Amino acid sequence: MVVIFSNEKARNFLLEKGFVWTVRSDALKLGKNWMTDKRHGFKLADVSIEDRLPLPTLSSIGLFVDESGFDSYEDWVEAIKSLNRGKIPEHLWIHKVTLKKEVS
């Protein structure tokens, strides 16, 4: 399954640090996946979804902000809105994505 990281901050954090916490409106499949930067994009790396948790409230992402690639809680919330047509989805999941192998 493909995981799209269109947000440059989150994508760069994953590629530089080897992991990132990402928020999605749907639960991603645990285990082996691959990532790209846009819909119909080229494969950038093999990744693994290591953990997946439902978020009871949006403020819960504050616990993960230091490992998200964003400078603050507010920056992350704005990114979530921008990727979801200006709104916060009703249901959110947080996932730990680990880099396995970059494509050269």
Domain positions in the chain: 2-102
Q: Which two tokens stand for residue 3?
A: 């995981």
Q: Distance between CA atoms of 41 and 79, rounded to whole angstroms?
A: 20
Q: What pLDDT score was predicted for residue 104?
A: 74
Average pLDDT on 71-93 reads: 96
Q: What pLDDT score was predicted for residue 67?
A: 98
Please state the pTM of the whole predicted model.
0.94
Is the confidence at residue 73, as pLDDT, over 90?
yes
Average pLDDT on 12-18 reads: 98
Q: Which two tokens stand for residue 57?
A: 């409230």
Query: pLDDT digit string (tens) for 36-49?
Result: 999 999 999 999 99
Angle at 72 between CA 53 and CA 3, to 5 degrees: 45
Q: Distance between CA atoms of 78 and 94, rounded to whole angstroms?
A: 16
Determine the longest span between alpha carbons in the chain, in angstroms: 39
The CATH number fitting domain 2-102, selected from 2.30.130.30, 3.50.7.10, 2.40.110.10, 2.40.160.150? 2.30.130.30
